[in-house]
Homo-oligomer: A and B are copies of this chain.
Amino acid sequence: MTDTSYRLGELTTDDAAASVARGDVVILPAGAFEQHGPAMPMATDLIRAEDMADRVAAALPGRVVIGPSLPVGVSPHHLGFAGTVTLRPATFLTVAREYVDSLAQHGWRRILVITGHAGNNATLGALAQDLLHDRPDIEFVWTAIASLAAPVTAKMDRAEVTGHCGESETAQMLHVAPHLVHADRLVPGTTALDQLDPLSRQARRTAPSLARRYDQLSANGVLGDPTTATADQGRAIVDAVTTALVDYVQEWLAA
């Protein structure tokens, strides 16, 4: 047992009480349990979120603890691929809400959800609205890793169509959990707009928003070309996101 753990799940109730007294931020890592193509594991998004939570907490000793994870997210678009487990948006919202309510009952006031899965964004946004309504005393912050990774990712050489299991996500996994990536099975997925049917092409736009199932977008569940991803790229992404989050939390604690 290390006294320097920052994971509540590995700490005792007395440690939890001390964290409340310090006014710590509680990080809740949120993932998904969904297909990640032929080479990456179902828990990819949780693995990345928990890893990021660890990095932020390690950088801010005595200011941050990590609460329970949300291992399953909102992934109906991946149900066409075996193994995907999804929650309804309403269910994911309720689970996250009850985590927050429990933490708030003990006295924590600052909650940060880090989601490795952007499919949870809409529900986290709705939860934030509910909390604003019911619990104005709580400061509830959430972010997708992908949003904070965008400045780095934008500079990468990526296919015309990219995203899920693509260059960026694969690079992160090669840095964070290389033992769980089957490098020999990495293959391109859909990489160009003209590989998509017309409706799926429209679905690539940011607005208007049109949701498609992944089995309509890609035969192997991959968007982009993961074979070009490197662990060094992954490190650059992960470092940038870590820095952004550490800076954010420091400002927050000082606010």
Contacts and interface: CB of A to CB of B under 8 A. Distances in A.
Contacts of A8: 33, 42-43, 83
A197 B255 contact: yes
A17 B85 contact: no
A254 interface: yes
A139 interface: yes
In this complex, the interface size class of chain A, counting residues with CB under 8 Å from chain B, is 35 or more
Nearest to A209: B142
Interface stretch (A69-77, A154-162, A232-240): A69-77
Most buried by B among A14, A16, A81, A106: A14
Interface in A76-115: 76-77, 79, 81-91, 93-95, 98-99, 102-103, 105-107, 112
Contact of A67 (B82, B85, B122, B126): B85
Nearest to A199: B255
Most buried by B among A36, A72, A77: A72
A8 B221 CA distance: 17
A202 B252 contact: yes
B128 A209 contact: yes
B133 A79 contact: yes
Given A35-B13, A40-B12, A132-B211, A251 B198 contact: yes
A123 interface: yes
Contact of A143 (B41, B95, B124, B208): B208
Contacts of A33: 8-9, 67-68
Nearest to A76: B133
5 contacts: A10-B41, A11-B83, A91-B98, A112-B208, A148-B207
